[in-house]
Structure formats: C-alpha cells, structure tokens
Amino acid sequence: MKLFSTSGRGRRVGTFAAVATVVALAATGCATTGNGGGGEAGGDGTSTIAFLPKQLNNPYTDVVLGGGEDGAKEIGYDSQVLGPLEASASAQIPFIEQATQEGTNVIVIAANDPDAVGPALQTAREAGAKIVAFDSDTNPDYRDIFISQVVAKDVALIQLEIISEQIGGSGDIAILSATATATNQNEWIKFMEEELESNPDYADIHLVAKVYGDDDADKSFQETQGLLSSYPDLAGIISPTTVGIAAAAKYISTSDYKGKVALTGLGLPNEMREFVKDGTVQEFALWDPAQLGYVAAFAGKALVDGTITGAEGDTFDAGEMGEITVGANGVAIVGPPTRFNAENIDDYDF
C-alpha cells in the first residue's frame, strides 16, 4: 500500500531547504516561509500557524514541513517556519518567544527536549496561542494535543523485528540515536529495551551500546565508525533517525562491514534507495512524514475554532486524511509504519 501522496510535496522540499538556509544565515538561525510573506503574524486578519521543527535543513523535516504547508493552505492559514540550525534542548525557545510576540494563533512544535520548551510554551498559551506538538512530544502540561506518527511501541517493535530477521535472531546490536533528550527517540528505545528483556524470541540478542549522533550527519558517521571499532563482533545497528541511518549506511557501504553488519531503523526512501540497491541495507521502516505536518495544521484549526480541546474522544476533520480521533493523554495517531526494501522502495518518492 502506498503512503500519503507526495507528488506535490516532493517538489517543494528543495524550496523549503533553500529558503531555510538563506534566511537562517541572514537572521542567525531563524527561518521564515509562508503563504502571506513577512510582517507581523495576523496583520491582515488572517489566522496564522508557525511550525517549529527540531532543526532546519534536515531532509526529514523538509518533508514534514511540506505537508504542513499543504495543510495550512487548505485551512486558509498563513504559515511560517521558525527554528534553529542545531537540535539542542534550549535552541527552540527564542523562536517560541518570537511566535508569541507576533500573535501567532497556532504553534506546532517538535520538541528537542520535553521540558526545556515548557515555560516559553506556557507563555504562548497564556497569550492565546494553541500548542500542537508533533513528531516529538513536549511535556503534556505544555501543549493542547500531540500528533504522533504511529503508536510509539509499534515503531520500536518493527525495528526489532527487522534487525532480528536480518541477524538470524542472535548477536550483539547497538542503537545509533539522535539527541539524548529527544522524546520520541527515548520512548522508542525504552520499548526496544523492554521487548529485548521480556520477549523470548529475542533472548539471544544483546544490546551492547547506545550512542547519539545528534541528528548531525558527520557526527552520526563518526559514531558508526566508533561503534564498529569498539565492538568488532557487532551483528547489527538500529538507527531510529533518518539522519543517523543514512550516515551509518554511508559509512558501512564503503567499509569491510558491508554485508556483514546489518543496518535498519527509520529512513527516507529517497535517501536510502542507493543503499538498498547496493546491498548495504536490506530493509528499514518509516511512515509518511508529510502526514504529520498536514494533520497538525488541521488540529491547530480545530483547537482555534473550539471544536476540540485535545480531550480523549475528540474528533476533527483532517482533509485528505479523513476524521482523526484524539486518544488518551491528548495523543492523535496518524498511521502505521511501512517497511521499505528492494521490492517496493521505487514505489515511494519522499
């Protein structure tokens, strides 16, 4: 089954990245794009939505933001993108403050740290903004709703299933994560560790190391190199981050470990295609990232309109995605993960 259509979004990814780079350099880390151009948010009476990803110039983020732009256009909101060039705990705070000062109606954020952004988000809420977390949650006290990719445990389990299949159910494995404070990464890793301890099918698989590439390609490349040097008998690596898995594949593809060390995790088909086709990677997983931004925009509008509050059982219209139901703890699930391999990877373009 093909995921959410990306025919229009894929063409905009390069534009998002280029605009973010130019404006970020000009404004010391702040990027802005939108339907209505610059100026103070809402100056013409149009409702506004600001997207704050973990960091700019990340291929995964570019796809998410493309979906967010589509959603914003469909709901008739002006949109802008704000955010840091580095994924650190406190780097998002100035951009939350900027959105608050501009009177933004909806702030959509993927938190680098669930608590560090809390006070700034609380100030934004007191000023009237609705807070939608997506991709990586904040502390629930600081947002109205969280748009999650999939059920968190399912993300963890599919990666364990894939690595187990590839290493024959036994051997030492390591995890190459993003930042040590990333909410989504830590939740997935927690479920992996619990499953490794409790599931007899994984009794012979041993997690020997967790390292952090900080969603930086160079650092992730170096961490992969370090893992394989420190653990010469390593059977496989799980990297639940699109930056990490691509960097690890790049290293392994030109090393003596190609074909000997299994690699899986969460990746973008367009970034991983060459590594699947050259045999470096057999299979990996992901959802359609564009869905997150798209659904988040509709959730923001529903909050502003007062048709939902983020309570369990609330429902809202999400355009092409249909009706979305809010679950426990204010979490709305977008859809299940998909496995990508040599047989289906050319069916996807994102």
Residue closest to 85 by CA, chosen among 16, 134, 28, 13 = 28
Residue 264, pLDDT > 50, answer yes
CA dist 143 to 53, 165, 273, Å?
15, 39, 36
Three-state secondary structure call for residue 223: helix
- Mean pLDDT on 230-259: 97
Question: Kind and range of the H or E element at 116?
Answer: none
pLDDT tens for each residue of 139-166: 999 999 999 988 889 999 999 999 999 9
CA dist 70 to 42, 47, 108, 234, 283, Å?
19, 15, 14, 43, 30
Question: Hey, do 48-149+289-335 and 152-286 end up sharing a CATH topology, with the first three levels equal?
Answer: yes
DSSP assignment string, 274-340: HHHHTTS-SEEEE--THHHHHHHHHHHHHHHHTS--S-TT-EEE-GGG-EEEB-GGGEEE----EEE
Per-residue buried b or exposed e for 146-183, using 16+ beta carbons within 10 Å of the residue's own CB: bbbbbbbebbbbbbbbbbbebbeeebbbbbbbbbebbb
Residue 43, pLDDT > 50, answer yes
- Mean pLDDT on 274-278: 98
Strand extents, DSSP E, the chain = 48-52, 78-81, 106-109, 130-134, 145-148, 171-177, 205-212, 236-239, 262-265, 283-286, 315-317, 323-325, 331-333, 338-341
At the fourth CATH level, which superfamily is domain 48-149+289-335?
A: Response regulator (3.40.50.2300)
What is the predicted pLDDT for the residue at 10? Answer: 37
Is the torsion defined by CA of 214, 174, 338, 335 positive or negative?
negative
What is the predicted pLDDT for the residue at 150? Answer: 86
Residue 237, pLDDT > 70, answer yes
In the chain, how many H helices and how many E strands?
A: 10, 14
Any idea which of 100-104, 151-155, 210-214 has the lowest mean pLDDT?
A: 151-155
Average pLDDT, the chain: 89
Residue 28, pLDDT > 80, answer no
What is the predicted pLDDT for the residue at 44? Answer: 64
Residue ranges covered by each domain of the chain: 48-149+289-335, 152-286
Residue 32, pLDDT > 70, answer no
The share of the chain scoring above pLDDT 90, in percent, equals 80
Residue 258, pLDDT > 70, answer yes
Contacts of 299 (CB under 8 A, 6+ apart): 132, 145, 147, 308, 316, 318, 324, 332
Any idea which of 39-53, 114-128, 296-310 has the lowest mean pLDDT?
A: 39-53
What is the predicted pLDDT for the residue at 42? Answer: 52
Using a 10 angstrom Cβ sphere, with 0-12 exposed, 13-18 middle and 19 or more buried, the burial of residue 232 is exposed
Residue 2, pLDDT > 60, answer no
Residue 241, pLDDT > 50, answer yes
What is the predicted pLDDT for the residue at 89? Answer: 82
Three-state secondary structure call for residue 248: helix
| CATH class entry, domain 152-286 | alpha beta
The share of the chain scoring above pLDDT 70, in percent, equals 87
